[in-house]
Amino acid sequence: MSYVKVFGLCVGMIVLAGCSEPTIDASSEKAMKASVTEVRDSLPEGERDKFEKAVQVLAMSHINMEDVLSGGSDGLGTMQRRFYQSIDGKTAAEVFAEADIIIAERKERERQQALEEIRELEQKRVDSGSAREKLKQFEVMRSRFYLKDRDFTRDAPVIELTVKNGTDQAISRAYFEGTIASPDRSVPWLKDTFNYDISGGLEPGEEVTWTLAPNPYLDWGKVDAPADAVFTVTVERLDGADGEPLYSGQLFDEDDQKRLDELKAQYSAE
């Protein structure tokens, strides 16, 4: 090979070496900071912020709260070493590529979690509807509310209820929502909950009348409704003979519906 050819080959290798992309040196914190800055500055102006965010994505992917909580400063050191190892020797293009993979994997995990939550909420809605039908079988045959005069003390609120257990289960406690409202008014005078621990329980088919005395110092004792106000009661929950919830109409509420709508709007069409 002639001297001219050898010289030309050497010049070509030098030019190629000079044109190679800068890489990150993570041999130490100081070296990494300096090389990250060098790699960033070698990029077009429009890609520099993107590069900084990509580096942050790589760094965040190595954060493990269990290491932090269990290892303290040692745990932080472990995470830092993993990050340095993952980024050492990488070019800007390689940093971008790995950050894209991490973001894509994270979005897929979020999507799967959202779809699972959608399934759970939809099942919760179905279960709540089924429970509502069961609650209707525990009938409120009669409901009455009034304030009973007492000398020298606050008037005593009284709730009278006649109920019939039309379910096929013994009930140990019943939970209600009571509303005191006038027919010509859209806003009730009072809407509140109360419950009753049934001594001896209420067997299937049994009917009973209760006279309950809510605390006079709570809202029941403060209500000032006119004579035309009507007291209506709905059954919200029933506990079985073992004291555990048997049917509950509050399984699926407005917050659940809002959350379900948001998730379906974002993920169902994907």
Query: What is the bridge-based pairing of β-strands 190-202 and 156-165?
Result: unpaired
Q: What is the pLDDT of residues 200-235, one digit of tens each?
A: 999 999 999 999 999 988 999 999 899 889 999 999
pLDDT value, residue 254: 86
Instruction: Report which residue type is found at 45.
Output: E
Question: Considering just the CA atoms, what is the radius of gyration of the chain in Å?
Answer: 35
Q: Rounded mean pLDDT of 114-142? A: 91
Helix (H, G, I), strand (E, B) or coil at 230: strand
Q: Is the pLDDT of residue 132 over 50?
A: yes
pLDDT value, residue 65: 62
Q: What is the separation of C-alpha 68 from the centre of its chain, rounded to a whole number of angstroms?
A: 24
Q: Is the pLDDT of residue 197 over 80?
A: yes
Q: What is the pLDDT of residues 156-165, one digit of tens each?
A: 999 999 999 9
Q: What is the separation of C-alpha 177 from the centre of its chain, rounded to a whole number of angstroms?
A: 26
Q: How confident is the model at residue 236 (pLDDT cuts 50, 70, 90)?
A: very high
What is the C-alpha to C-alpha distance for residues 218 and 147, in angstroms, rounded to an integer? Answer: 13
Helix (H, G, I), strand (E, B) or coil at 166: coil
- Our CA angle for 37, 40, 44, nearest 5°, is 150
What is the C-alpha to C-alpha distance for residues 136 and 233, in angstroms, rounded to an integer? Answer: 12
Please tell me whether the overall predicted TM-score, pTM, comes out greater than 0.75 for this model. no
Q: Rounded mean pLDDT of 58-86? A: 75
Mention every residue, 6+ apart, whose C-beta is less than 8 A from residue 96: 50, 51, 54
What is the C-alpha to C-alpha distance for residues 252 and 118, in angstroms, rounded to an integer? Answer: 13
